[in-house]
A = this chain, B = another copy of it.
Amino acid sequence: MASPVDFWFDFASTYSYLSASRIDAEAAARGVVVRWRPFLLGPIFAAQGWTDSPFNLQPVKGRYMWRDMTRRAERFGVPFRAPEDASAFPRRSLLAARVALAVRDEPWGVAFCRQVFAAEFVEWRDIADPAVIDACLEQARGSADGFSAADIGDAQKTALRASGEEAVARGLFGAPSFVVGDEIFWGDDRLEDALDWAAKD
């Protein structure tokens, strides 16, 4: 009996997008159940004194990341392009994360997350824009009716804060992270390790 895997991701994170694109097929192949857990890296980075993505704070590492992402996406057949405008990264992922938590129990909750990632890392639309989020909701749900970005209230704000506190309590420091019981696996390059661990657990 395989253990479930908690897939912790930030919509602003490039490598989270790669994992979001890969995890379903890899998990299905191993009979592993995945729980999608949106959270924000910003407060975790801020606690270390970082005011921006480490890929912007360290330009040499940032240049490498875009090249690495492009190569890895090609290797895995995942649509992706680096931004033409460097200021487009990272996007503010607060709204997307709150909405993802609001709709997480819908049968199309994961489809919404995929729409957000594609809008961001393929089309480079601004996922902080409520109109972009509403378009993602509509595509995932197949209808314009229902929850919209304008419906965010205290419940979703509290839920996202609680997610962030749980992430810190579990010892997470980056995204994507995969949690199986007490075991943490960090980075898209640990996706297979995490799922293998869950499958044998």
Give A residues with C-beta under 8 Å from B: 48, 58, 60-61, 63-64, 67-68, 71-72, 75, 171, 173-174, 183-187, 189-190, 193
Contacts and interface: CB of A to CB of B under 8 A. Distances in A.
Contacts of A75: 193
Given A67-B184, A68-B190, A187-B189, 11 more contacts: A48-B58, A58-B173, A60-B171, A60-B173, A61-B173, A64-B173, A64-B186, A71-B193, A72-B193, A75-B193, A189-B189
A68 B187 CA distance: 11
Contacts of A61: 173-174
Contacts of A60: 171, 173
Q: Is chain A's interface secondary structure helix, strand, loop, or mixed overall?
A: helix
Nearest to A171: B60
A36 to B, nearest CB: 21
Centre residue among A61, A63, A64 by max chain B CB count within 10 A:
A64
Given A186-B68, A193-B71, A171 B58 contact: no
Contacts of A185: 68
Nearest to A187: B189
A17 to B, nearest CB: 18
B71 A184 contact: no
Nearest to A196: B75
Nearest to A197: B71
Given A187-B189, A189-B189, A171 B63 contact: yes
Contacts of A174: 61
A135 B64 CA distance: 38
Contacts of A187: 189
B64 A171 contact: yes
Contacts of A190: 68, 189
Contacts of A186: 64, 68
A80 to B, nearest CB: 16
